[in-house]
Amino acid sequence: MGVVTSQKITSYYERFKDISVTFTKEIIQVTGLLTQQIHLKCGNDFWPCVVYSASFQNAKVVANIKTGLLGKLQATNNFVSLRFCFKPQGESNPVTFFVAARVLATAPYGNSEDVNILTLQFSNRPPDDFIEIIGRVLDANVNSAKRKEERIPLTQDNLRRLYTYYRKPDIDSKCSSPLYFKRSFFFRL
């Protein structure tokens, strides 16, 4: 990961604190999330889980409750720590950290009796590494949407305008309607 200033991290946190990111295959690949290393720590025990979605304030995880997780949650007053593990591109060592949270709700996942989705509310602001990783993804998404709005559609009218702007007289005599671009790409209307 590159060097990110504390101002940039604060900016990410303020801009995106309420936006939840669903961990699809693409998001897992972009963030470098190591899915086998994600665990819920409840008391002194660890339970493997799958992060369904996360924001800077909460997360939803899917976990097997058949192993006694719900009983342990009651014993610890619903306090857990969610262990994240990311391996950013170009880094040799993974970035691992815990986020303290409280379980707000549990619900069966699909029709399963063994698997529940747990809604976690983070107790504190998550670590800067988490804010940086998720913030970059959200920032790229916002920038992509802005660029999409700034694109010029290639309609016949716009192509005619480009043609008159980039037209070269010496080429015009050879072709009936060329469009010349600086890298020698020719298009015909």
Question: pLDDT tens digits, residue range 132-141?
Answer: 999 999 998 8
In the numeric block, the tokens 């999330």 are attached to 33
CA distances from 131 to 4, 121, 128, 149, 159 (A): 11, 16, 5, 27, 43
9: left (phi over 0), alpha (psi -120 to 50) or beta: alpha
pLDDT at 58: 96
Whole-angstrom distance, CA of residue 29 vs CA of residue 62 = 19
Instruction: Report whether pLDDT(37) > 90.
Output: yes
pTM: 0.74
The band of 182, judged by pLDDT with boundaries at 50, 70 and 90, is: very low
| pLDDT, mean over the chain | 85
Give the residue range(s) of CATH 2.40.10.220 domains in the chain: 6-149
Distance, first Cα to last Cα, the chain: 46
pLDDT tens-digit map of 100-127: 999 999 999 988 889 999 999 999 999 9
pLDDT at 172: 47
Whole-angstrom distance, CA of residue 89 vs CA of residue 24 = 18
Mean pLDDT of 171-183: 46
CA distances from 62 to 7, 53, 92 (A): 33, 10, 28
Mean pLDDT of 19-26: 95
The CATH fold of domain 6-149: Thrombin, subunit H (2.40.10)
